[in-house]
Amino acid sequence: MDKKLYLGIDVGGTFTKLVLVNSACRVAAKNVISSRGFSDKAFFARELRAAINSMLSRHKEHLSQIKGAGIGLPGPVDFKSGVVLSLTNIAKWNRFALVSYLKRFFSFPIFIENDANCMALAESRLGAAKGASYALCLTLGTGVGGGLILDKKIYRGPFLLGGEIGHSPVALSGERCPCGGEACLERYVGNRAIMARIKKEFGRTVSLEEVSSLARRGDRKAIKIWDDVGRYIGLALSGVVNVLNPEVIVVGGGVSLAGGVLMRSIKRSVRKHAMKHLKGKVKVKRALLGSDAGVLGAALLAKEKLANT
């Protein structure tokens, strides 16, 4: 019987998810822990070890079965050197040699990757882009993350920032972005921007879920909000469609839960701006793996990296 396990870890600013998958990519165990206190690196390593041991104990598995681990992180990383380049969610992790540090605590190989790239890997192997050699995945939330799969591989680019569609400019001028750019897509369709628009339209704070529900019931203000969000997203996506010709675009993250009204707007916008020879060829789909995409992708990262060494 195959006893190999691969560990996926998705480090978020609030919670960190862990998963163990077997060689057939089936989930053997899951765990979720708080990310509070992770700026203390030794504390992070101890919490990680305790969470892993808890999973193994509950499911009667053994540490020796873990052949490797992948860690997804919400910021740019140097995949080859194992260094976190910058991270806004957790203090003191900028220029942090995470892989070297964790070697003190774990004997199995560890690989790190940007969390949107992990999501893209999972959706391309197991989810909405399964079977596609060329795919773009974006995750819509507080920020707008993006990951590119080119020729079935994660595309990172020579400067390690490939796929950052959230920082594509969608206007000639606009609000400055923490990335250093101006009028980035994220400034128009990130959670904060949408919530500000909602408060302006409704005169009060209304949750994204309620606005989605109102849109489904035909509320004109709610429909207009999601239609505008979709137009901006589609505008940015059409540029990628024209340059890279992906087969599939996968839209995930919390904002994507707006559902049909948002997806229809995105598709209309892509059709409007994409080259005529590409219209109808690229498929725009909602993500299938939900909030587990990042952690599953981290486990797949380790599995595939070890298979190729």
Q: What is the CATH number of the domain that holds 44?
A: 3.30.420.40
- Give buried/exposed letters for 2-25 (b at 16+ CB in 10 A, else e): eeebbbbbbbbeeebbbbbbbeee
Residue 228 CB neighbours (<10 A): 15
Percent of the chain at pLDDT > 90 equals 89
Mean pLDDT of 60-82: 94
Helix or strand (DSSP H, E) at 67: strand 66-73
Same domain, 299 and 282: no
Q: Using pLDDT thresholds of 50, 70 and 90, give the confidence band for residue 1.
A: very low
pLDDT at res. 2: 59
Show the CA angle centred on residue 74, arms to residues 68 and 75, nearest 5°: 100
Same domain, 20 and 143: no
Examine residue 36 and state whether it is found in any structural domain, yes or no.
Answer: yes
pLDDT at res. 89: 86
> Could you tell me the two tokens for 24?
């057939």
Dist CA 137 CA 164 (whole Å): 10
Q: Using pLDDT thresholds of 50, 70 and 90, give the confidence band for residue 88.
A: confident
Residue 308 has pLDDT above 90, yes or no: no
Cβ neighbors of 262 (< 8 A, separation 6 or more) are: 226, 229, 230, 255, 256
Same domain, 80 and 111: yes
Residue 309 has pLDDT above 80, yes or no: no
pLDDT at res. 6: 97
CB 98 within 8 A of CB 113: no
pLDDT at res. 13: 87
| Pick from 306, 307, 208: nearest CA to 261 | 208
- Residue in the block written with tokens 């707008």: 144
Same domain, 279 and 299: no
Q: Provide the 8-state DSSP code for 96.
A: B
Same domain, 59 and 181: no
Helix or strand (DSSP H, E) at 97: none
Same domain, 12 and 142: no
Mean pLDDT of 98-114: 97
Same domain, 168 and 192: yes
Structural domain including 56 reads 5-118+292-307
Q: Provide the 8-state DSSP code for 74.
A: S
Read off φ and ψ for residue 285, nearest 5 degrees: -130, 155
Examine residue 126 and state whether it is found in any structural domain, yes or no.
Answer: no
Examine residue 124 and state whether it is found in any structural domain, yes or no.
Answer: no
- Give buried/exposed letters for 164-180 (b at 16+ CB in 10 A, else e): bbbbbbbeeeeeebeee
Mean pLDDT of 161-188: 94
Read off φ and ψ for residue 19, nearest 5 degrees: -145, 145
In the chain, the number of structural domains is 2
pLDDT at res. 43: 97
Secondary structure (DSSP) of 129-188? TTT-SSEEEEEESSSEEEEEEETTEEE--TTS-TT-GGGSB-SSS--B-TTS-BSBTHHH
pLDDT at res. 304: 96
Same domain, 22 and 37: yes
CB 70 within 8 A of CB 300: yes
Dihedral class, residue 32 (left if φ above 0, else alpha if ψ from -120 to 50, else beta): beta
Cβ neighbors of 211 (< 8 A, separation 6 or more) are: 198, 222, 225, 226, 258
Cβ neighbors of 61 (< 8 A, separation 6 or more) are: 5, 20, 28, 29, 55
Mean pLDDT of 192-202: 94
Average model confidence (pLDDT) across the chain? 94
pLDDT at res. 54: 94
